[in-house]
């Protein structure tokens, strides 16, 4: 096996497994559009990272957190619906990102950021991704119970002593960290797919919240293996192949459940 395939498999699997772990909450809390908004506006972060010379990852984390904060502060008012607000931020973030990228002097391939290029990750990238994913998993370990209580019913959780504001903020932070790493694997436009497709497929087999997260992580990893394999054999783009593989898992999980 070529070494670049090994790197792609490791980087992709790490990101997809963690995406499964976070994705279950995105599904339970009906935040699919929220994921889209964070990841689309991450393109602005890429541009900022390059323009300010702070690296794209820092740029993406900062811009994603910023969008998350704007969303939370706007949620308190009721004049603009949440749905419309998400749409406004998603598309303005994407547009601002594309405009800002046109100012970047060095030659860049926008398609790489929109759809990812996991086959070109370096060992250095793999290490960074592994470190960030380890950080996300440890935050999630600590966050799990309060986040689950809040997901089931936020007011009940609040009365029972969960600090809902800081838990929500931490969740936005881990999603931002995931978006920043997943940019390289499936790109800004397809990150939400990694969050929601494996998680939804896992629902058919899970009896507890923890099982669902673990199964989602496994389906995510299998999707990366199949997607990167297909990309290698048929010479098709890797990011979209990973997403298609997870979609196949999703439909077969429904079929499998009917047959069982």
Partner 1 sequence: MTNSDKILATLNHVNLTHGSRQILQDVSLSLEAGKVLTIIGPNGAGKSTLLRVLLGLQQADCGDVKLRDGLSIGYVPQSISIDNNLPLNVQRFVALGGNAGSVPEVLAMLKIEHLKDAAIQSISGGEFQRVLLARALSRKPELLVLDEPAQGVDVMGQGELYDKISTLRHEYGFGVVMVSHDLHLVMAKTDQVICLNQHICCSGVPDDVSRHPEYHRLFGDMPDTGLAVYTHNHDHTHDIHGNVVDSDAKGCNHG
User: Distance of CA 125 to CAs 11, 57, 81, 117, Å?
Assistant: 8, 11, 39, 12
Q: Which is nearer to partner 1, 91 or 203 (CB)?
A: 203
User: Closest distance between partner 1 and the C-beta of residue 13, in Å?
Assistant: 24
User: Closest distance between partner 1 and the C-beta of residue 257, in Å?
Assistant: 13
Q: Which is nearer to partner 1, 133 or 201 (CB)?
A: 201
User: Closest distance between partner 1 and the C-beta of residue 54, in Å?
Assistant: 38
Q: Which is nearer to partner 1, 211 or 252 (CB)?
A: 211
Query: How many Cα atoms within 13 Å fall on the side-chain side of residue 250?
Result: 16
User: Closest distance between partner 1 and the C-beta of residue 252, in Å?
Assistant: 18
Q: Extract the tokens encoding 144.
A: 């799990």
Q: Which is nearer to partner 1, 35 or 93 (CB)?
A: 35
Q: Which is nearer to partner 1, 123 or 141 (CB)?
A: 141
Rounded CA separation 75/31 (Å): 13
DSSP 80: S
Rounded CA separation 179/166 (Å): 20
Residues 150 and 164: beta-carbon distance below 8 Å: yes
User: Closest distance between partner 1 and the C-beta of residue 27, in Å?
Assistant: 5
Rounded CA separation 184/221 (Å): 16
Residues 53 and 104: beta-carbon distance below 8 Å: no
User: Closest distance between partner 1 and the C-beta of residue 67, in Å?
Assistant: 24
Write down the residue that tokens 């992709």 correspond to: 12
Q: Which is nearer to partner 1, 4 or 205 (CB)?
A: 205
DSSP string, 118-173: GGG--HHHHHHHHHHHHHHHHHHHHHHHHHHHHHH-HHHHHHTT--HHHHHHHHHH
Residues that bind partner 1 (CB under 8 A): 27-30, 145, 148-149, 151-153, 155-161, 199-200, 203, 206-209, 211-212
């Amino acid at each position: 096996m070529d070494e670049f395939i090994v790197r792609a498999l490791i980087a992709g699997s790490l990101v997809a497994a963690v995406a499964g772990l976070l994705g279950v909450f995105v599904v339970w809390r009906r935040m699919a559009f929220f994921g889209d908004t964070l990841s689309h506006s991450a393109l602005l972060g890429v541009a900022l990272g390059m323009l300010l010379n702070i690296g794209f990852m820092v740029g993406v984390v900062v811009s994603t957190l910023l969008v998350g904060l704007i969303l939370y502060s706007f949620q308190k008012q009721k004049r603009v619906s949440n749905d419309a607000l998400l749409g406004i931020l998603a598309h303005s973030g994407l547009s601002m990102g594309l405009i800002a990228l046109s100012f970047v002097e060095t030659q860049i391939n926008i398609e790489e950021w929109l759809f990812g290029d996991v086959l070109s990750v370096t060992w250095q990238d793999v290490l960074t991704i592994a470190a960030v994913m380890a950080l996300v998993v440890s935050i999630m370990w600590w966050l799990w119970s309060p986040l689950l209580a809040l997901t089931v019913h936020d007011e009940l959780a609040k009365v029972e002593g969960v600090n809902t504001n800081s838990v929500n903020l931490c969740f936005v932070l881990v999603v931002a960290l995931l978006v920043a790493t997943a940019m390289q694997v499936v790109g800004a436009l397809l990150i939400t797919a990694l969050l929601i497709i494996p998680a939804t497929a896992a629902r058919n087999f899970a009896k507890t919240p923890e099982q669902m997260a673990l199964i989602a992580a496994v389906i995510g990893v299998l999707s990366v293996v199949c997607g990167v394999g297909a990309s290698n054999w048929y010479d098709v783009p890797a990011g979209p192949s990973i997403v298609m593989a997870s979609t196949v898992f999703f439909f077969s999980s429904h079929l499998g459940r009917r047959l069982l």
